[in-house]
Amino acid sequence: MLVNLQGPWDPIFGRLGLILQYQYNNPVIFFAFELSLVGGAIALFWLTCAGKWRTLWSDWLTTVDHKKIGVMYIIVGLVMLFRGFFDAVMIRTQQAMAVGASSPGFMGAAHGYLPPYHLDQVFTAHGMIMILLAVTPILVGIMNIVVPLQIGARDMAYPYLNALGLWLTVSAAALVMISLFVGDFSHAGWVGLIPLTELPYSPGVGVDYWIWSIQIGSVGTTLGAVNLIATIIKMRAPGMTWGRVPVFSWTTLATNIIALTSFPVLGVTLALLTFDRYLGTHFFTASLGGDLMMYTNLFWIWGHPEVYFVVLPAFGMISEIVPTFSQKTLFGYVTMVVASMAIAAVSWSVWLHHFFTMGAGPNVNAYFSIATMLVGIPTGVKVFNWLFTMYRGRLRFDTPMLWAIGTIFLLISGGMTGMMLAVPAINYIVHNSVFVIAHFHNMFLLVAYAAFAGVTFWFPKVFGFKLDERLGKRFFWSFTLGSIMVFIPMYILGFMGMTRRLDYISHPAWYPLILAELVGVGFYAVSVFFFLAQVVVSIRNRHDLRVGADAWGTSRSLEWGTHSPVPFYNFAVTPMVHARDEWAWRRENKLDSLKPDHYVDIHMPKNTMVPLILGMLSLVLGFALIWRIWWLAGLSFLAIIVAIVVRSFEKDTGYIIPAAEVAAMEQDYLDRAREVESAGEKVGGGAVGGGVPAASRAPWNKLKGD
């Protein structure tokens, strides 16, 4: 061993002996463990009884279909969102219980029920999960589903790579979940505060869990970025010039350029930290020539672009949803594209605003302050443009539109506080206070709102039926009440001087507002219930909620120009693009028939189990490295190389669907569409069909067309 480890090490079991030596007997964890055991058992039982193993394997686990991969990304993201929410509940309840010297302590804590080591792990996991394993996968999932459809492609440029990205993300999420039960997680904040993450101050395996799960996940995200960039550049349908690419695809391009250029920085930074922890080097230590602020710089050179990585697709989705429900063209398309690219470009030169208090000279701080404010210009432009899109529109407030409006208000308030934080003279008194926490939750909520908008908006495209509107609106309002009740008190607590990441509250004056935040968490819990109810009820009523191709009746871009649910080959024939808002153009010119003149053979990629295997092997590799089980790490690494090499000799990776078969499948879709139409639903973009409207809850039925 090149470094001094606290605790045992064994050549066969590595550091696993730590589990026996130290007690991890917290009832909270035990409860979570029981829950996952029971949940897993029920899932296995259902799979076996319903005979779904084969479907699971061939339709999902080995698929390279971009829509199914996108759906799995979103499911992973939602599961991790729930885990992150549970962490938030624990943080909020701990802070509400541990106020003042006389507050009682339980389960090994001096105050409240979470001792510092445990709470530190909870908020570290909360931050890392919410950013990298909840919001990011949901956004990547939506990009995966929507972008190929929007640009008229059959699939992604690299379907195999796409599946690999998914399974690496899954294995990163799995590592974080394993850390809940086997060992512990990092206690050094999601940013990995240096030198707290160095071995002397984090002697356990927690930081190693944090490092390797981020490493594995970020390889997945980088591969996804390569894929999306290549897809948008090379796979656009004929006629889709750059001036006709939908804004969401533009923001996807901008955001993935950010990902492709910034995630490798994170990888290298964490690798250097890994050398410090595993080999005893001194890149980021305070001693022997190490430079700890170098870590902070490098981390935020990735970390700040990452903020725009999640915000830009959110802006893109709003730019699709607002025109649809305003029944109007997006105002200032060129401006929107330029603004997105400008945000991506500026995102690179602002990272130092995360640590103005480091003690850099005033001119350095001034430079980064002004660079940060520059981001406000294109962002402000976007708000104005959405406003002018709604101006002289005909606004309908379906659930996606509600989420989109919420996003706009969150952007206005978050922009306001962002402009405060960008000024170093103000930053000095609110940095690392809960004011900052409220600000960036404001911004991440904006992304979450946009993500919920996107999921609700494109759900009918993928599954062929809408989500229940009534429960969706309840979900929206309870979530919004939660956001108001949690984060407005948090902003105010910032003015009272409350700092972040506290395990114990020494100033009882903060107590009333901390209790108010707890009420907000209650509203969030209610919103989780409404979300689950929405999904369950919608699936149960899926027959009534069926929609045709143009699910919302006023959709504008190309993805609405194929059937709902989308066939696995996306478009029967590759569409020819004529306009910026292609589907709106076709609807207006009565060219919205989904039946082509004739069908042609379709070339599709074959399923493969290699990405799944690589994902599972990287999970084993990560686990072995965390626990320093060298033989297992070597073996799994070798297996990964072998699997990649073997796969690279596979030449027969595609197959042909003959035109006749396409015609038969298309006929089924067209029959379904006719059935929906005769039930009163809109199919394509045409007028409302005859018959009695089956779904009176579909508000657009009551509206006149343009």
Partner 1 sequence: MTRMLALFPLLLLSGCSDKHYWLFDPKGPIASAELHYMILDVLVMLVVIIPVTALTIWVLWRYRAAAQARHEPGWAHSNVLEFVVWGVPLVIVAILGYYSYVGIHAVNPYGPEVLAKKSVVETTRQGIAPLEVDVISTDWQWLFVYPKLHIASANELVVPTHVPVHFRLTSTTVTNNFFIPQLVGQIYAMPGMRTKQAMIADHTGEYHGLAATLSGPGFSWMDFKVKALNEQQFGQWVAGVKGAKAQLTYAAFDKFAQPTVNTSGKSVYFANVQPGLFKHVIQEVKAGKVYPTPYAFTENMQAPEFTERTN
Q: Phi then psi for 602, rounded to 5 degrees?
A: -120, 135
Is residue 123 within 8 A of residue 131, CB to CB? The reply is no
Helical H runs in 129-158? 136-150
Find the part of the chain contacting partner 1 (CB under 8 A) among 16-24, 147-155, 216-224, 674-682: 16-24
* Shorter beta-carbon distance to partner 1: residue 156 or 408: 408
| Binding-site member from 127, 217, 332, 548 for partner 1 (CB under 8 A) | 332
Residues 366-405 touching partner 1, rule: CB under 8 A, are 366, 369-370, 373-374, 376-377, 379-381, 383-385, 387-397, 405
* Shorter beta-carbon distance to partner 1: residue 303 or 406: 406
| Binding-site member from 115, 313, 605, 615 for partner 1 (CB under 8 A) | 115
Find the part of the chain contacting partner 1 (CB under 8 A) among 81-89, 441-449, 483-491, 641-649: 483-491
* Shorter beta-carbon distance to partner 1: residue 384 or 655: 384
Residues 133-172 touching partner 1, rule: CB under 8 A, are none
Residues 655-694 touching partner 1, rule: CB under 8 A, are none
For CA atoms 617, 622, 623, 624, give the dihedral sign: positive
| Binding-site member from 78, 170, 307, 330 for partner 1 (CB under 8 A) | 330
Q: What residues contact residue 160 under an 8 Å CB cut-off, 6+ apart? A: 64, 605, 608, 610, 611, 647, 653
Find the part of the chain contacting partner 1 (CB under 8 A) among 171-179, 494-502, 603-611, 665-673: 494-502
Q: What is the 3-state secondary structure (H, E, C) of 427-443?
A: HHHHCCEHHHHHHHHHH
Shortest gap between Cβ of 93 and partner 1 (angstroms)?
A: 16
User: Does an H or E element contain 541, and which?
Assistant: none
Residues 55-114 touching partner 1, rule: CB under 8 A, are 105, 108-110
HSE-CB at 646 with a 13 A cutoff on CA atoms is 12
| Binding-site string for partner 1 from residue 409 to residue 448, where x marks contact by CB under 8 A and - marks none | x--xx-xx--xx-xxxxxxxxxxxx---------------
Residues 236-295 touching partner 1, rule: CB under 8 A, are 286-288, 292-293
Angle at 593 between CA 543 and CA 322, to 5 degrees: 70
Shortest gap between Cβ of 399 and partner 1 (angstroms)?
A: 15
- Is 548 a binding residue for partner 1 by CB under 8 A? The answer is no
Shortest gap between Cβ of 200 and partner 1 (angstroms)?
A: 4
- Is 526 a binding residue for partner 1 by CB under 8 A? The answer is no
- Is 499 a binding residue for partner 1 by CB under 8 A? The answer is yes
Q: What residues contact residue 101 under an 8 Å CB cut-off, 6+ apart? A: 506
Single out the residue of 244, 303, 239 nearest to residue 269, CA to CA. 303
- The separation between CA 72 and the C-alpha centre of its own chain, rounded to angstroms, equals 12
- Is 117 a binding residue for partner 1 by CB under 8 A? The answer is yes
Find the part of the chain contacting partner 1 (CB under 8 A) among 47-55, 56-64, 305-313, 352-360: 352-360
Is residue 602 within 8 A of residue 154, CB to CB? The reply is yes
Cα distances from 9 to residues 12, 24, 181, 519, in angstroms, run 9, 18, 19, 46
| Binding-site member from 38, 42, 358, 656 for partner 1 (CB under 8 A) | 358
Query: Whose structure tokens read 């991890």?
Result: 24
* Shorter beta-carbon distance to partner 1: residue 634 or 705: 705
- The whole-angstrom separation of Cα 84 and Cα 92 is 12
Shortest gap between Cβ of 393 and partner 1 (angstroms)?
A: 5
Q: How many residues bind partner 1 (CB under 8 A)?
A: 119
Residues 203-222 touching partner 1, rule: CB under 8 A, are 203-204
Is residue 260 within 8 A of residue 226, CB to CB? The reply is yes
- Is 20 a binding residue for partner 1 by CB under 8 A? The answer is no
Shortest gap between Cβ of 195 and partner 1 (angstroms)?
A: 5
Contacts 24+ apart (CB under 8 A), 173-176: 173/76, 173/79, 173/80, 173/133, 173/137, 173/213, 173/217, 174/619, 175/209, 175/212, 175/213, 175/216, 175/619, 175/622, 175/623, 175/626, 176/80, 176/125, 176/128, 176/129, 176/133, 176/209, 176/213
For CA atoms 120, 85, 350, 74, give the dihedral sign: positive
Report the amino acid identity of residue 515: L
Shortest gap between Cβ of 383 and partner 1 (angstroms)?
A: 6
- Is 195 a binding residue for partner 1 by CB under 8 A? The answer is yes
Find the part of the chain contacting partner 1 (CB under 8 A) among 226-234, 237-245, 456-464, 505-513: 505-513
